[in-house]
Amino acid sequence: MFRLTPRETSELNNVKQQLRPADPSRRRIGLGLLVAALLVIPLIAMQMSDAVAWRTFDFLAAAVLLTMAAVSYEVLIATQIGSKHRYLSAAAVIVVLILAWGSQI
């Protein structure tokens, strides 16, 4: 029977620790910061150019779309186990977000 040495067991545990998904609360904070950062981009662009003219409704609509995308990503991640499924879930959410954003314009 194959047995691991204590050093190999320790290395294996370190690899498992590194492959573990991020803490959900940290991921939620990161998603919230990403949504805020994406909403700040047009705000800064409005200060630099007259070509960007968002109203309050535009910011609210974008905030709702981005928040719903973040929430749906979080729900999909909570139900998925493998990293392959996580990447596919992220890609699906991004595609739907882009389609919804495009139909808003």
Show me where the domains of the chain are located. 24-104
Distance CA 95, CA 98 (A): 5
Is 90 exceeded by the pLDDT of residue 41? yes
Distance CA 81, CA 37 (A): 28
Mean pLDDT for 48-61 is 91
Per-residue DSSP letter, 20? S
Note the pLDDT tens digit of each residue in 57-89.
999 999 999 999 999 988 888 777 677 878 888
Give the chain's largest Cα–Cα span: 73
**Which one is predicted more confidently, 105 or 36?**
36
Give me the DSSP letters along 66-105: HHHHHHHHHHHHHH--SHHHHHHHHHHHHHHHHHHHHHH-
Distance of CA 49 to the CA centre of its chain: 29
